[in-house]
A and B are shown apart, each in its own frame.
Chain A
Amino acid sequence: MNTNNNNNCPSFEELSAYFDSELDQFSLEYAHIQNCDKCQRELDAYTKVSVMLKEELSNSVPDDFSAHMINSLKRRRKRDSSVDVSPFGFFFKVAALLVLSGIIVVALIPHKSNIVQQQVSDTKVAPLIFLDKLTPSGSYTHSQLPPSRRSAAGASDSIDITNMMQVSTGQMGDENLYTSSENKDSVAVIHPKVKQVWSVDSLKHAEMQFAQFAEVAKFATNNSSITMTLKLSKKNLAQFVRNCKEDGFRLLSPSQPQPEQTHFAGNKNDSVLYTATFVQSE
């Protein structure tokens, strides 16, 4: 490249147009830019901005965005085509809320959790075990995850599912879920910051899950989703995730803790910054 540093560099507008391939190739400016170090350095800076901008924006897209959007839109199309006019609707909802909140309050009282688990489901729930100083034995690959949890398995939310088995559960529809084997070696890592997305039948129901936590840091809601952030111990988070599943919520994100996972590395009292988004399912 010729070194052609002079004061005849074109304006930043021309340079920017060149950068976007919008400058006339036969113009004098075009020829100048191609052969000027100073202009080339400017272009490098534009490239950096461009890369960084794209990166930051694509990182801003929520986990499983498309899937949630499709669901929300289906719901909305249904809602738009049928309006609920039942005079009992409101009272029914209030009654349902009261019943459900009773169940959840009991479910979150630790020493009574066994009784509640029997009420809610007959399936045996393996106890949660935290193993100090245990290093996980491997890491997941994207293809190991079910599609609904695949896109959320970004670099920031890495999980360990090496020893988890894929099982088909009749109750949860045709969706395959991952569960831990009974093997004690299947240890997962809960990261200090965890983000998860849940699909729920009723946002009200999800809202009640939050009501248990006085220390919810952030609480954002709209028609189709609710998001909260809170700090809690690894043990309580693992329990929270299981309670959610027992309530029929469906976890879409791959990050640990997963409700089926029973063995975790680290101290159960370590705190985790947990962000959960609950989206209304169809």
Chain B
Amino acid sequence: MTENAAEYDKKLISRLKLGDKSSFDELVVRYGAKAFQISFGLLSNRFDAEEVVQDAFMKVYTNIEKFRGDSSFTTWFYRIVTNLSRNKYHWHRRRGRDENVSISDNRFSGDGVQLDLEIPDRAFEPDRLLERIEAESTLMDAIKKLPEKFREVILLRHIEDMSYREIAGLLECELGTVKSRIARAREALKFKFAQAR
């Protein structure tokens, strides 16, 4: 995120606050496709991803008054996208296992709520990650097989070129955690790529 882009976002947001709807459309053009890529990368489902992006922009629209600009727009926006994707991901997963879980299960919806992986982290050390993704055919399949937390960091890093600090702020976790997750995800994907070629 360059300085100029952030400054321009600020202008768009203050115009939106004054009721200029076209600046909202401009935000959609600026960030919609990237938000889709992140959500699609997380969910591996086009329709879910599209729905997430739409919901995220609706949240931006209805909550724009509350956005004071303490963090950049992108941090705020991609946090919404990530959280909504998490909601959907967990909702689908739980629904598959347990029909009684409702969408009002809000454990994952709060801003920056950290999820605990059900499997201990060491199960995702590079060599073990490899075992999980070995059978997959493409890089996207490999992404799909990464645990959610790893997918999040690697997608934010690659699609929006976010710095580790920005990602840590967005996901509300330690800088070191971001660094380690990106590295492990990358190692796993690298191996997959080498295999595919």
Q: Which residues of A contact B (CB under 8 A)?
A: 11-13, 15-17, 19-20, 22, 42, 45-46, 48-50, 52-54, 56-58, 60-62, 65-66, 69-70, 72-73, 76-77, 80, 220-225, 227
Contacts and interface: CB of A to CB of B under 8 A. Distances in A.
Contacts of A69: 28, 32, 50, 53-54, 57
B143 interface: yes
A223 B50 CA distance: 10
A13 B159 contact: no
Interface string B29-63: 10011001100110000110011011001100100
B139 A49 contact: yes
Given A22-B179, A50-B158, A62-B46, A57 B54 contact: no
A257 B122 CA distance: 53
Interface in B169-184: 179-180, 182-184
Interface stretch (B9-17, B75-83, B106-114, B187-195): B187-195
20 contacts: A12-B186, A16-B186, A17-B183, A19-B186, A22-B164, A22-B179, A48-B190, A49-B139, A49-B193, A53-B158, A56-B139, A60-B46, A61-B33, A61-B37, A66-B29, A70-B25, A73-B54, A73-B61, A76-B58, A224-B54
Given A16-B179, A20-B182, A65-B33, A73 B57 contact: yes
Nearest to B163: A22
Contacts of B179: 13, 16-17, 22
- Prevailing SS type, chain A contact patch: helix
Contacts of B164: 17, 20, 22
A42 B113 CA distance: 34
B195 to A, nearest CB: 12
B123 interface: no
B50 A225 contact: yes
Contact of B50 (A12, A17, A62): A62
B157 interface: yes
B189 A49 contact: yes
Q: Which among B41, B154, B183 has the highest number of chain A CB atoms within 10 Å? A: B183
Nearest to A222: B47
B58 A73 contact: yes
A124 B166 CA distance: 59
A60 B33 CA distance: 9
Contact of B47 (A12, A15, A66, A220): A220
Given A50-B158, A53-B143, A76-B54, 13 more contacts: A12-B183, A16-B179, A16-B186, A45-B190, A48-B190, A57-B155, A58-B37, A60-B37, A60-B46, A61-B37, A62-B50, A73-B61, A77-B58
A252 to B, nearest CB: 15
B152 to A, nearest CB: 14
Interface of B: 24-25, 28-29, 32-33, 36-37, 40-41, 46-47, 50-51, 53-54, 57-58, 61, 126, 138-140, 143, 154-155, 157-159, 163-164, 179-180, 182-184, 186-187, 189-190, 193-194
Nearest to A50: B158
B143 A73 contact: no
Contacts of A16: 179, 182-183, 186-187
Contacts of B157: 20
A33 to B, nearest CB: 13
B186 to A, nearest CB: 5
A60 to B, nearest CB: 5
Nearest to A221: B47
A222 B140 contact: no
Contact of B193 (A48, A57, A73): A48
Q: Which among B50, B138, B139, B154 has the highest number of chain A CB atoms within 10 Å? A: B50
Contacts of B46: 60, 62, 220
A70 B37 contact: no
B127 to A, nearest CB: 11
A61 B36 contact: yes
Contacts of B163: 20, 22
A235 B40 CA distance: 35
Contacts of A58: 33, 37
